[in-house]
């Protein structure tokens, strides 16, 4: 190289300039290419641990600052278990960035394990880390220098009554609160003075109000208009309530006419002199109220005493109620009693609702809103998760997995297009329409002794999703390892599914896991409703239990 450079430098003129330009362009293009191409490196802090210890697996990505980088998530390091995925550390430098992701991994069985290749997606393109072997050794137990003892038997102890569970306090507090509310609502409340007066009979109330008017300061302050207004209102209200005559809205002449008509009809046994005296007082009151007349104080006091006598005589003039009127009063009193009972029932219902709400708030505070919501709202997926699971082998080549229910063999029809590359297919599935949980396995024998076309199988499964009404399908893909370390492919994502009844659509998730070898392929297809935490736990448990045979 030195000789070549020397040769170029010997020449002068255009040839020398073109040589220099060629060297600069070559170096510049190499530099630009090196800066735009992402690089992925991985490392571990150790390859030998003891059972339960952790490995720090570090993935470093150097890429353009605008690149979209997706790191693996979940249990993608099987057979090693992911303990924690730490937050991504980002360093930016001009138009480049360096991302560093650290995973804490462990294993609780001794042996030598293959840390599988991990797929890092950068702008939609996959980049892979290196695989390596990890040795997990058991913990040495000194059985010679240390003495071992038998397990001690259980010892009965007295129950500590001081440690009362929190929910007991919640129940006791709710009951005490309910009792206090009921006592407060149902206790006999003392009536106010105004309420007691309002409940008095009209006759007694009229006499009491006339007595109050006598002790008022209206006459001392020469407030005759207020004095006579209250005086006439008292007697008119009494007539309206006890004599059942529309007195409050009647003029003086109209009221007197009505009293005379009742006297003539025998409905009110009152003397003509009493009516005439009453008319004279009403006329005086009208002059005071509307003509601003000012009678003597003694005359006003005499009018009050006269009205008091008129009330007494009117009470005596009212005929005894007939049996029909008495019955109407009984019905009226019964209706009032029923209204009071209905009001009391409403108050009790409101108090009970308040206690229930308070108890619900306390329960949410103690157990968490998700647990309370999923307990109150029926979740069939919760019953499936907590029920008895079934571990079984399905099809040939077999697919082993654990599921909350046994998968049922289905009639597998092979279309004419599939017969070119499929010799035999065995399908097993389970579907729960209550929570949209679907579990299915397929074991396929290929027509030729060749490696399966995974992409073709994925396209076919997604096409079946679309044919069943799925829309907005989002797809991601990553490497996968079975429980025994058999490598496979996992395709997962979300979609909007059409309900079986053709009604509203439901947002859900799916996972497609593919394995295969020379002349065969195995598939596991899972689908569930998005936002169901119990379904998420079911799917994780199923995926972690999947295992397949590598040979037919």
Tell me the per-residue pLDDT of 410-420, one tens digit each, with 9 for 90 and over: 887 777 777 77
Give dist(CA 137, CA 140) in Å, integer: 9
Angle, helices 272-290 vs 224-238, to 10°: value is 140
CA end-to-end distance (rounded Å), the chain: 58
Kind plus residue range of the DSSP H or E element containing 160: none
Q: pTM of this prediction?
A: 0.38
244 vs 21, residue with greater confidence: 244
Q: What is the pLDDT of residue 321?
A: 66
CATH class given for the domain over 39-137: mainly beta
Give dist(CA 125, CA 36) in Å, integer: 14
| Residue ranges per structural domain of the chain | 2-36, 39-137, 200-319, 387-548
Share of the chain above pLDDT 70, in %: 81
Give dist(CA 499, CA 235) in Å, integer: 76
Q: Looking at the domain 200-319, which fold is it?
A: 1.20.120
Contacts for 112 with CB less than 8 Å, ≥ 6 apart: 133, 134, 135, 136
Asked if residue 7 has pLDDT above 60, the reply is no
Q: What is the pLDDT of residue 468?
A: 82
| Closest C-alpha to 519, from 458, 456, 448 | 448
Lowest mean pLDDT among 300-314, 365-379, 416-430, 532-546: 365-379
Asked if residue 10 has pLDDT above 50, the reply is no
Overall average pLDDT of the 322-332 stretch: 67
3-state secondary structure string across 444-511: EEECCCCCCCHHHHHHHHHHHHHHCCCEEEEEEEEEEECCCCCEEEEEEEEEEEECCCCCCEEEEEEE
CA dihedral 188, 189, 194, 196 (to 10 degrees): 20
Secondary structure class of 291 (helix, strand, coil): coil
Q: Which residue has the tokens 């006459």?
A: 219
Kind plus residue range of the DSSP H or E element containing 507: strand 505-517
| Closest C-alpha to 398, from 519, 511, 527, 523 | 523
CB of 69 closer than 8 Å to CB of 61: yes
Secondary structure class of 5 (helix, strand, coil): helix
> Of the CATH numbers 3.30.460.10, 3.30.70.890, 3.10.620.30, 3.40.1000.10, which one belongs to the domain with range 387-548?
3.40.1000.10
Angle, helices 224-238 vs 202-214, to 10°: value is 170
Q: What is the pLDDT of residue 295?
A: 86
Q: What is the pLDDT of residue 33?
A: 45
SS3 content of the chain, % helix, strand, coil (to 5): 45, 25, 30
∠367-370-374 over CA atoms, to 5°? 105
Tell me the per-residue pLDDT of 24-52, one tens digit each, with 9 for 90 and over: 544 544 444 445 789 999 999 999 999 88
């Amino acid at each position: 190289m030195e000789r070549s450079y020397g040769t170029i430098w010997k020449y002068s003129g255009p040839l020398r300039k073109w040589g220099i330009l060629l060297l600069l362009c070559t170096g510049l293009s190499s530099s630009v290419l090196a800066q735009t191409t992402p690089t992925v490196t991985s490392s571990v802090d150790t390859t030998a641990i003891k059972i339960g210890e952790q490995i720090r697996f570090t993935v470093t990505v150097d890429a353009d600052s605008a690149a979209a980088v997706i790191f693996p998530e979940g249990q993608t390091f099987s057979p090693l278990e992911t303990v924690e995925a730490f937050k991504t550390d980002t360093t930016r430098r001009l138009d480049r960035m360096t991302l560093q992701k650290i995973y804490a991994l462990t294993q609780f069985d001794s042996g030598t394990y293959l840390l599988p290749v991990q797929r890092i997606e950068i702008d939609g393109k996959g980049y892979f880390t290196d695989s390596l072997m990890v040795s997990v050794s058991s913990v040495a137990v000194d059985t010679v220098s240390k003495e071992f003892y038998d397990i001690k038997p259980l010892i009965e102890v007295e129950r500590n009554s001081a440690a009362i569970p929190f929910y007991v306090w919640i129940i006791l507090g709710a009951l005490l609160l309910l009792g206090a509310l009921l006592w407060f609502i149902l206790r006999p409340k003392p009536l106010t003075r105004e309420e007691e007066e309002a409940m008095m009979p009209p006759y007694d109330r009229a006499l009491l109000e006339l007595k109050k008017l006598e002790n008022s300061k209206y006459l001392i302050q020469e407030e005759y208009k207020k004095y006579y207004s209250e005086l006439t209102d008292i007697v008119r209200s009494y007539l309206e309530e006890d004599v059942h005559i529309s007195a409050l809205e009647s003029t003086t002449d109209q009221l007197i006419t009505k009293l005379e008509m009742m006297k003539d009809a025998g409905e009110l046994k009152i003397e003509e002199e009493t009516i005439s005296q009453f008319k004279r007082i009403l006329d005086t009151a009208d002059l005071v109220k509307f003509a601003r007349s000012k009678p003597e104080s003694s005359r006003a006091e005499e009018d009050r005493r006269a009205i008091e006598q008129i009330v007494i005589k009117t009470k005596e003039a009212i005929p005894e109620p007939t049996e029909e009127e008495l019955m109407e009063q009984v019905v009226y009193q019964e209706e009032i009693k029923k209204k009071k009972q209905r009001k009391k029932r409403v108050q009790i219902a409101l108090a009970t609702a308040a206690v229930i709400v308070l108890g619900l708030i306390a329960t949410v505070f103690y157990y968490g809103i998700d647990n309370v919501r999923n307990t109150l709202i029926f979740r069939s997926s919760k019953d499936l998760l907590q029920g008895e699971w079934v571990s079984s082998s399905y099809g040939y080549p077999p697919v082993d997995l654990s599921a909350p229910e046994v998968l049922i063999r289905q009639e597998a029809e092979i279309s004419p297009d599939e017969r070119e590359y499929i010799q035999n297919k065995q399908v097993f599935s389970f579907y729960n329409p209550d929570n949209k949980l679907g579990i299915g396995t397929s074991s396929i024998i290929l027509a030729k002794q060749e490696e399966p076309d995974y992409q073709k199988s994925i396209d076919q499964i997604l096409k079946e999703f679309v044919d069943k009404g799925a829309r907005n399908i989002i797809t991601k893909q990553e490497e996968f390892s079975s429980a025994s370390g058999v490598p496979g492919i996992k395709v997962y994502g979300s979609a909007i599914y059409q309900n079986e009844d053709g009604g509203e659509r439901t947002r859900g998730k799916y996972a497609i896991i593919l394995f295969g070898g020379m002349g065969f392929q195995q598939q596991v297809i899972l689908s569930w409703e998005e936002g169901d935490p119990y379904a998420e736990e079911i799917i994780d448990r199923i995926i972690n239990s999947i295992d397949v045979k590598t040979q037919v």
